[in-house]
């Protein structure tokens, strides 16, 4: 399997590097971008005009993003390039929308009418039956998360390099790893964000009308109470403000994962089977490469969002 890291300059020139000493790539349904770090031995002595980072495995592009950091150093008579990058969808977290009520807004309108973000594409959804209430300092990703939940009860994710989805991918590939020699197989629990009780004020600022207790948190012996003002994003059904927060805080609570040598092309919301996992949607993909080879870890989530 061949890995190629490419640096794209501001003028569009592509500088491809195949002598990759190590790389780590990750994408996850609850992270608004893919992330990459890599170390390369290079014959080039200048990357001053670098603007973009791309990583391909056997000619399949898996990462295309902005440069977070780039360092070129000479050591022992050789040049080494260290780079970190996040996909262009990370810009959705770094751009805010003018506060206020946005009526009859579709996912297409949200993604197309505010900013033009390079390389960022999205699922086609023209349903404009909903609205969003944009609070101060709300990012585009937060707005997309709110609209995704209102329309479909889902949380958005990134498929491919920079495509934002709000529904399950309709034509997933299926990967059966049940007969594959697995390097690791396990379960991971994440409970630090879980709250037990949610309390929202009514329109007069009084508490006691809108409350939610999470029985799953109680079973985990978690006691964490959260109080907040009336959430204008959910005026159509105020109790959903608590339900959404509960699901959001519970996201990623349980992950079942496995790893193997190689890479077969898995992406988020493809189908995977391994161990006790039978035909479930992929929630995380981690690919690491070094002189020892290329290794892939895939995981599936069990939480309160639909998968």
Question: Shortest CA distance to 121 belongs to which of 112, 131, 133?
Answer: 112
| pLDDT value of residue 93 | 98
Tens digits of per-residue pLDDT, 25-35?
A: 999 999 999 99
Domain spanning 95-165, CATH class: alpha beta
Whole-prediction pTM value? 0.95
Beta strands at 271-274 and 277-281: parallel, antiparallel or unpaired: antiparallel
247: enclosing H helix or E strand: helix 239-250
Tens digits of per-residue pLDDT, 98-127?
A: 999 999 999 999 999 999 999 999 999 999
Question: Shortest CA distance to 268 belongs to which of 83, 93, 25?
Answer: 25
Residue 98's alpha-carbon distances to 70, 132, 170, 234, in angstroms, are 33, 12, 33, 18
Tens digits of per-residue pLDDT, 178-224?
A: 999 999 999 999 999 999 999 999 999 999 999 999 999 999 999 99
| pLDDT value of residue 103 | 95
Residue 78 pLDDT class (50, 70, 90 cuts): very high
Residue-range domain boundaries for the chain: 3-90, 95-165, 174-190+253-302, 197-250
Tokens linked to 183: 């390097």
Q: Which CATH superfamily is domain 3-90 in?
A: Baseplate protein-like domain - beta roll fold (2.30.300.10)
Query: Beta-carbon neighbour count of residue 112 at 10 Å?
Result: 11
Tens digits of per-residue pLDDT, 120-161?
A: 999 999 999 999 999 999 999 999 999 999 999 999 999 999
* Dist. CA 297–CA 147, nearest whole Å: 31
Q: Given CA atoms 245, 246, 251, 253 in this order, what sign does their dihedral have?
A: positive
Among residues of the chain, what percentage have pLDDT more than 70? 100
Calculate the average pLDDT of the chain: 98
* Dist. CA 275–CA 180, nearest whole Å: 10
* Dist. CA 157–CA 87, nearest whole Å: 12
Question: Shortest CA distance to 282 belongs to which of 294, 274, 290?
Answer: 274
């Amino acid at each position: 399997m061949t890995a190629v890291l490419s640096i794209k300059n501001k003028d569009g020139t592509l500088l491809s590097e195949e002598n990759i000493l190590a790389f780590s790539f990750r994408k996850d349904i609850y992270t608004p971008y893919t992330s990459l770090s890599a170390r390369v031995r290079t014959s080039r002595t200048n990357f001053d005009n670098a603007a973009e980072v791309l990583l391909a495995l056997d000619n399949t592009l898996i990462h295309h993003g902005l440069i977070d950091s780039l360092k070129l150093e000479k050591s022992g008579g050789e040049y080494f390039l260290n780079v970190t990058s996040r996909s262009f969808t990370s810009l959705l977290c770094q751009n805010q929308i003018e506060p206020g009520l946005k009526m009859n807004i579709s996912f297409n309108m949200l993604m197309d009418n505010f900013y033009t973000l390079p390389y960022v594409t999205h699922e086609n959804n023209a349903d404009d039956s909903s609205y969003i209430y944009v609070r101060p300092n709300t990012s585009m990703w937060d707005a997309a998360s709110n609209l995704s939940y209102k329309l479909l009860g889902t949380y958005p994710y990134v498929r491919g390099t920079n495509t934002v989805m709000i529904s399950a991918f309709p034509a997933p590939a299926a990967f059966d790893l049940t007969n594959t020699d697995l390097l690791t197989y396990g379960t991971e629990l994440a409970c630090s964000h879980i709250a037990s009780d949610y309390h929202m004020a009514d329109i007069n600022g009084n508490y006691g009308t809108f409350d939610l207790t999470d029985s799953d948190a109680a079973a985990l012996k978690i006691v964490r109470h959260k109080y907040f003002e009336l959430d204008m994003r959910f005026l159509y059904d105020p109790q959903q403000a608590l339900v959404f927060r509960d699901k959001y805080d519970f996201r990623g609570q349980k992950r079942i994962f496995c790893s193997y040598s190689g890479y077969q092309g898995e992406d988020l919301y493809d189908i995977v089977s391994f161990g006790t996992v039978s035909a479930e949607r992929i929630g995380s993909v981690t690919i690491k490469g070094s002189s020892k080879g290329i290794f892939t870890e895939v995981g599936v989530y069990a939480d309160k969002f639909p998968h």
